[in-house]
Amino acid sequence: MLISFIRIIKFAFQNFWRNIWLSIATLSIIVLTLISISSLIFVTVLTNEAINSVKQLVDLNVSFKPEVTLEEVQEIEVSLRELEQVSTTVFISKTEALKEFEAFHKDEELIQESLKELDENPLGHALVVKAKNLEDYPFVLTFFQEEGREDKIQEFNKNFEKHEVILEKMALVTKRVRELALAISIVFVLIAVLIVFNTIRIAIYTHSEEISIMKLVGASNAFVRGPFIFESFWYAFIATAITLALLYPLVNVVNPYINQFFSSNFDLVTYYTQNIVWIGLYEFVGMLLLNLVATSVALGKYLDV
Amino acid sequence: MWYTKNTVIVFKGVSKKYPPNVYALKDATLHIKPGEFVSIVGQSGVGKTTMAKLITAEQSPTKGKIIIGGWDISRIKNRAKPILRRQIGVIYQDFKLLPRKTVYENIAFALQVSGFPRSKIVKIVPQVVKIVGLEEKEERFPKQLSGGEKQRVAIARALAHRPKVLVADEPTGNLDTVNTNEIVDLLLKINGFGTTVVLVTHNREVVNGLKKRVVTLEEGEVVSDQAHGKYMI
Ligand SMILES: Nc1ncnc2c1ncn2[C@@H]1O[C@H](COP(=O)(O)OP(=O)(O)OP(=O)(O)O)[C@@H](O)[C@H]1O
Ligand SMILES: [Mg+2]
């Protein structure tokens, strides 16, 4: 058993080296496929990031009346956080609000003057609420409009409402973009699967004569299959390693352009280095399964001797 | 009847039909005793190769029984075929060597498939290489050999696990006279060791020179079977 196993691995490597050009061709196709799949992953991540960064611009800024106390606001914040539609809340105290206000209007003398004349802070506390989805803002708004809350509120800065039309369009566009990306991905993966499948089939077809000879001198199916199965494993492994190595410089080259495009601090290189293990693992396992299926299917008809 | 229980190959009323409706063998009956040297002759398309393929279970009979060394292989399972083939040596007109393995590896392969340990392989391979006279060429690949040399490698491979039967389907079909005679001499030498040899051939001179048993096929039927036969057609 063990001796067969060792022989199978030896034959697999012999096969690989003695058909080095065919091996390289097969390997290149697999690597190219994996690079394309990886690019698809990156594009998906970037699309999501673009959608998110737009979402980040949208929030609901609730300013409370100056007489509303810190405790009252904090109480509201706590119940607000219990809503599943709410993603984050940020508390802004009176003092902070004033500072921001001053900073924002620092070039406007008139406002600066009038601020100085007031002894007391005219502003109240504020809460900045981000909902999970764009569609959730109206609901969050009704929360503030409930009895006992509405009269504590000075004003809403409903930038989601200002952008309502744009946002509606955005929501639609992002939905379409996602659907399109999914459709493209499916087509793309299908093409990749077909290409790899056929590449493996051709590689095995070139061995069809040998396979029948092996069977005629008394090799069992398992013994003939063994080296090919091991080669599948080896191809998937090497191809994944090469792909990951090639992607690193590629990602570094495109990264500056992506950074320019995203004002947010999304960084593709960071994303890549943080997720390299998962990307590698998924691609390896996916490619291995594909190779194994292709190999078994392709071998099937030649083994029947 | 000359037939005794002591047989190594038995064909009992064997018919072989290829789709759609070609009868390559019709009700063929044949008994071969251990140590015999039998030539199977006949014109092209009479079913000689089919007979050889039935012995190695590359084909299965449509009707009748085939018994090899007491084992009825008429309905042999796919799983058992390797075991049968490890007991029969086969050589072909086109040699059927593994192109990407050296002479040594080609011969060793036949042993590796049946799980022979390395220690035995390194002893057996040089022995059979010596029998066929290829001592200097063990490290060559098939494409670096002449036709005659390739066929000798194939014979060495067939001999490696000491088969009881050697089936040769037109082994000299691709060779010139000198190489043909050398291969036939080798087959005789192997037969001299006690191996049963079944030789399928077209070659009149070879058959007549052998003065051994000749079975003649005609349109799938055994039409003559002579102990010291001649090529008749
Ligand atoms: N796989 C096959 N499928 C269909 N018909 C076949 C097949 N193999 C052989 N035949 C037919 O069976 C008949 C016998 O073929 P076979 O190869 O046994 O002849 P042969 O005596 O070996 O001929 P040759 O001397 O030319 O090698 C022929 O008519 C051939 O066309
Ligand atoms: Mg023939």
pLDDT tens digits, one per residue of A30-59: 999 899 888 888 888 887 777 777 777 778
Beta carbons within 10 angstroms of residue A202's beta carbon: 14
- The residue behind tokens 């593994």 is B98
Residue A167 CB burial class (10 angstroms; 0-12, 13-18, ≥19): buried
Ligand nearest to the CA of B15: 1
From chain A, the residues in CB contact with B157 under 8 A are 217
Q: Is B56 on the interface with A (CB under 8 A)?
A: yes
Q: For chain B, what is the mean pLDDT?
A: 91
CB contact under 8 A, B85 and A216: yes
Residue pairs spanning A and B at CB distance below 8 A: 53
Task: Tell me what ipTM this predicted complex has.
Answer: 0.88
Q: Which residues on neighbouring strands pair with residue A23, listed in sequence order?
A: none
Average pLDDT on A195-224 reads 90
Q: Is B96 on the interface with A (CB under 8 A)?
A: yes
The closest-lying atom of ligand 1 relative to the alpha carbon of residue B217 is 21
CB contact under 8 A, A210 and B113: no
Q: Whose CA is nearest to atom 17 of ligand 1?
A: B49
Q: Is B53 on the interface with A (CB under 8 A)?
A: no
pLDDT for A105-146, tens place per residue?
888 888 878 877 877 788 888 888 888 877 788 888 888 888
- At what angle are helices A164-205 and A20-56 packed, to 10 degrees? 170
B49: nearest Cα among B220, B228, B176, B229: B220
Nearest residue, CB atoms, B110 vs list A209, A210, A217: A217
CB contact under 8 A, B97 and A213: yes
CATH 3.30.70 residue ranges for chain A: 62-152
SS3 label, residue A224: helix
B44 lines ligand 1 (CB under 6 A): yes
Ligand nearest to the CA of B92: 2
- C-alpha separations of B113 from A81, A167, B58, B131 in Å: 69, 69, 18, 22
CB contact under 8 A, B82 and A213: no
Q: Fold for domain A62-152?
A: Alpha-Beta Plaits (3.30.70)
pLDDT for B155-207, tens place per residue?
999 999 899 999 999 999 989 999 999 999 999 999 999 999 999 998 888 99
Ranked by mean pLDDT, which of A119-128, A161-170, B123-132 comes out on top?
A: B123-132
CB contact under 8 A, B98 and A218: no
Which of A8, A206, A217 would best serve as a mutation to test chain B binding (most B beta carbons within 10 A)?
A217
Q: How confident is the model at residue B2 (pLDDT cuts 50, 70, 90)?
A: very low
- Dihedrals phi, psi of B214, to nearest 5 degrees: -125, 125
Q: How far is B116 from chain A (nearest CA, A)?
A: 9
Strand order in the sheet with A60-64: A86-92, A126-131, A60-64, A153-158
Q: Is B82 on the interface with A (CB under 8 A)?
A: yes
Residue A203: the pLDDT is 86
Percent of residues, chain A, with pLDDT higher than 90: 28
CB contact under 8 A, A218 and B58: no
User: E strands of A191-296, at which residues?
Assistant: none
What is the spatial distance between Cα B183 and Cα A111, in angstroms, rounded to a whole number? 112
Amino acid at B129: V
Nearest residue, CB atoms, B100 vs list A18, A218, A305: A18
Ligand nearest to the CA of B53: 1
Residue A166: the pLDDT is 66
From chain B, the residues in CB contact with A219 under 8 A are 82, 109, 113
Taking the whole predicted model, whether its pTM rises above 0.80 is answered as: no
From chain A, the residues in CB contact with B85 under 8 A are 215-218
pLDDT for A234-251, tens place per residue?
999 999 999 999 999 999
Nearest residue, CB atoms, A218 vs list B96, B99, B113: B113
Q: Whose CA is nearest to atom 22 of ligand 1?
A: B49
By residue count, chain A amounts to 305
Q: How far is A222 from chain B (nearest CA, A)?
A: 10
Ligand nearest to the CA of B26: 1
What is the spatial distance between Cα B88 and Cα B83, in angstroms, rounded to a whole number? 9
Q: Does residue A305 contact residue A212 with C-beta atoms inside 8 Å?
A: yes
- Label residues B121-136 b or e (16+ Cβ within 10 Å = b): beebbeebbebbebee
What is the spatial distance between Cα A102 and Cα A97, in angstroms, rounded to a whole number? 9
From chain B, the residues in CB contact with A221 under 8 A are 78
Residue A274: the pLDDT is 93
Which of B11, B17, B18, B53 gets mutated to test ligand 1 (max ligand atoms within 8 A of its CB)? B18
State which residue of chain A sits closest to B58, comparing Cα positions.
Answer: A305
Position B5 pLDDT exceeds 70: no
DSSP B86: T
Q: Whose CA is nearest to atom 1 of ligand 1?
A: B18
